């Protein structure tokens, strides 16, 4: 018996690699298992080597792992490309009619797929469905679950297509049962069955935003942030959202600022190159003191870089974007649950402190799949900072006073009005201003307004506090990791591998990047016997931020910048060697 299973499907684009991977994920999830799915694809319209990796665990599924239990090869290149992920027990499933496999690691399981398709009255493109049926049997799952998923997946294509795909699933299942029963993998039953949903990081961010009261979203498509736009368009009517695809990123952020000025909770999203275009408007949000949530999903750069590959090299970019001093918050979720939770938190912080909040995601997090507990069906959201008085009535009709939108206060937060509110009209633009919003270049007022904005950051830092970084694995260990963002997934998986090797390890995950939790981080580093920083960029940007804020230099930095995320085995190997 084993407590997890790790399956990879590989082939050219157009062969249904991702579609089958998603069905695999759902099949395991509906069987009660925790699931994580990871996809790789080149920035090509068609062709190139595509993979989908489905990892399922009876107790947890933090991330994909390198060593495979099964490899489904839809082309010759897949077997050659993944030799280092196979061992003597890996089951290699391939079409014996089209692929010639001379020598490879693993246990070769040739399938007469063409013959099976013909007997099932299927189509040549359904070779992947034959393999899916075989995996269902070899994993010990109930075929009825897979049959229902086939109906859901292909139902829109008509009954005939459902019938053909169902017949191919049965053909693959029956062939494996009759010919390959000795290779079946015995999985531990799920430790705990609960209602789960399967989401990408982008879908979780979009769900979190909607649950937080999002009403306006504008964006220009840019991988890997684009699917946030797709999700919100799909839900727009149901949740009364305004969703706008703009002509460029400059328009996207300025439209979102306009919606925020009007009182709506607003968001935009992009990747590093698009965020570079948004930079001036980020500063405008700062000086206008408008709440705005910005998702920046990192990909490999600089410039166009590798558009469909992973990176964490935009940390310094978002921390310092735009000229001048103004407060901002930067959050970096580590998994799909945190994507949902921190999206909600971002809207709360943005509105309460009237500032831009940047959610820093990445390709790995944005496009990977993970099962999470189903969220509540409805949410209550308190609104912050709005003046609800009729100012004209309070002042008298013949004594109308301008609205002090930027009234000076000890905490820096001043009340907002919305367009059309009686007595609430004020001027707001990119210039330095006085309390009424009128442009000023007076020295004393410039200092007062800078201090006002800075006071909000001080209050924000107090609320965020030092308790936000979470420590996994206990307070004391032989090896300690510190990291941020999506590295949480493979580091947690690595903790399990280290435990198997009798190496005690713990891990501090920082997801509130700015304001920086310097006291908590300092204490963790000082108490560590061996501290290792883990991140996906070439310059150790987070380690640099730690040194900037704490004065402590982390000597060991495990850095990866080849466009791929960490695997748990990478971290284990580093610790051992």
DSSP for 264-311, written as a single string: --EEEEE-HHHHHHHHHHHHHHHHHT--EEEEEEE-B-STT-BTTS--
How many CB atoms lie under 10 A from the CB of residue 6?
22
H or E segment and range at residue 150: helix 143-154
Q: How far apart are CA 130 and CA 128, in angstroms?
A: 5
Give all strands (DSSP E) within 415-475, no chain letters. 470-472
CATH ID of 470-576, from 3.40.50.920, 3.30.1130.10, 3.40.605.10, 3.40.50.1820: 3.40.50.920
- As a whole number of angstroms, the distance between CA 122 and CA 143 comes to 19
CA 237 to CA 207: how far, in whole Å? 14
* pLDDT of 391: 58
Other residues' Cβ atoms within 10 Å of the Cβ of residue 288: 22
- Fold for domain 4-183? Pyruvate-ferredoxin Oxidoreductase; domain 3 (3.40.920)
Residue 574 has pLDDT above 80, yes or no: yes
| Spatial CA neighbour of 25 closest among 10, 42, 12, 7 | 7
Predicted confidence at residue 184, as pLDDT, reads 96
Delimit the domains of the chain by residue range: 4-183, 198-373, 391-464, 470-576
Categorize the per-residue pLDDT at 475 as very low, low, confident or very high, splitting at 50, 70 and 90.
Answer: confident
pLDDT tens for each residue of 519-552: 999 999 999 999 999 999 999 999 999 999 999 9
Distances (CA, A) of 93 to 75, 107, 128, 210: 11, 9, 10, 42
CATH topology match: 4-183 vs 470-576: no
Position 397 pLDDT exceeds 80: no
Q: What is the pLDDT of residues 376-390, one digit of tens each?
A: 988 999 999 999 866
Tell me the HSE value of 207 on the side-chain side, using a 13 A CA sphere. 20
Instruction: With a cut of 50, say whether residue 396 has pLDDT above it.
Output: no
Class of domain 198-373: alpha beta
Q: Is the pLDDT of residue 103 over 80?
A: no
Other CB atoms within 10 A of residue 103 CB: 5
Query: How confident is the model over 456-481, as a mean pLDDT?
Result: 91
Q: Provide the pLDDT for residue 411.
A: 94
Q: What is the pLDDT of residues 287-337, one digit of tens each?
A: 999 999 999 999 999 999 999 999 999 999 999 999 999 999 999 999 999
* Residues in a beta bridge with 4: 57
How is residue 224 annotated by DSSP? T
Which pLDDT value is given to residue 191?
87
Percent share of the chain, pLDDT over 90: 90
> What is the pLDDT, as a whole number, of residue 272?
97
Threshold 0.85, pTM exceeds: yes
Identify the pLDDT of residue 14. 83
Residue 466 has pLDDT above 90, yes or no: no
* Nearest-5° Cα angle at 7, 106 to 74: 75
């Amino acid at each position: 018996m084993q407590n997890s299973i790790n399956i990879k499907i590989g082939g050219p684009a157009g062969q249904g690699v991702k579609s089958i991977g998603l069905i695999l994920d759902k099949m395991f999830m509906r069987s009660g298992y925790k699931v994580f799915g990871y996809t790789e694809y080149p920035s090509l319209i068609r062709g190139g080597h595509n993979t989908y990796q489905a990892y399922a665990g009876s107790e947890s599924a933090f991330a994909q792992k390198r060593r495979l239990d099964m490899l489904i090869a839809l082309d010759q290149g897949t077997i050659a490309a993944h030799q280092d992920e196979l061992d003597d027990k890996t089951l290699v499933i391939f079409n014996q009619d089209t692929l010639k496999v001379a020598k490879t690691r693993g246990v070769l399981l040739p399938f007469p797929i063409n013959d099976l398709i013909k007997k099932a009255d299927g189509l040549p493109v359904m070779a992947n469905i034959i393999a899916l049926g075989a995996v269902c049997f070899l994993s010990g799952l109930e075929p009825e679950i897979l049959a229902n998923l086939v109906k859901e997946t292909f139902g829109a294509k008509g009954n005939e297509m459902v019938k053909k795909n169902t017949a191919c699933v049965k053909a693959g299942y029956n062939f494996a049962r009759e010919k390959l029963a000795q290779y079946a993998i015995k999985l531990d039953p799920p430790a705990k069955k609960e209602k789960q949903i399967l989401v990408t990081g982008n879908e979780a961010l979009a769900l979190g935003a909607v649950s937080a009261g999002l009403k306006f979203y504008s964006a220009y498509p840019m991988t890997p942030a684009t699917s946030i736009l797709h999700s919100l368009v799909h839900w727009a009517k149901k949740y009364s959202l305004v969703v706008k695809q703009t002509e460029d990123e400059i328009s996207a952020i300025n439209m979102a600022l306009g919606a925020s000025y009007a009182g709506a909770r607003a968001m935009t999203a992009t990747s590093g190159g698009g965020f570079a275009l948004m930079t001036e408007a980020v500063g405008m949000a700062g000086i206008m003191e408008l709440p705005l949530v910005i998702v920046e999903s990192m990909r490999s750069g600089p410039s166009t870089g590798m558009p469909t590959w992973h990176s964490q090299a935009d940390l310094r970019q978002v921390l310092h974007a735009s000229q001048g001093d103004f407060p901002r918050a930067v959050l970096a979720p580590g998994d799909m649950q945190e994507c949902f939770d921190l999206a909600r938190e971002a809207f709360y912080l943005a509105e309460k402190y009237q500032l831009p909040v940047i959610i820093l995601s990445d390709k790995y997090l944005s496009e990977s799949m993970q099962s999470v507990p189903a969220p509540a069906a409805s949410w209550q959201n308190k609104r912050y900072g709005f003046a609800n008085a009729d100012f004209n009535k309070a002042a008298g009709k013949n004594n109308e006073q301008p609205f002090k939108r930027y009234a000076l206060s000890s905490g820096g937060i001043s009340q907002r009005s919305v367009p059309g509110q009686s007595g609430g009209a004020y001027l707001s633009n990119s210039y330095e201003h006085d309390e009424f919003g009128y442009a000023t270049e007076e020295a004393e007022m410039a200092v007062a307004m800078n201090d006002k904005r800075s006071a909000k950051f001080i209050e924000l830092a107090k609320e965020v506090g030092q308790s936000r970084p979470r420590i996994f694995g206990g307070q004391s260990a032989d090896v300690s990791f510190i990291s941020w963002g999506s590295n949480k997934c493979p580091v947690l998986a690595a903790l399990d591998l280290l435990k198997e090797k009798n190496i005690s390890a713990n891990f501090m995950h920082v997801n509130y990047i700015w304001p920086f939790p310097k006291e908590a981080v300092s204490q963790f580093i000082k108490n560590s016997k061996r501290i290792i920083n883990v991140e996906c960029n070439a310059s150790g940007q987070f380690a640099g931020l730690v040194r900037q804020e704490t004065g402590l230099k982390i000597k060991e930095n495990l850095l990866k910048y080849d466009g791929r995320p960490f695997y748990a085995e990478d971290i284990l190997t580093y610790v051992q060697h």
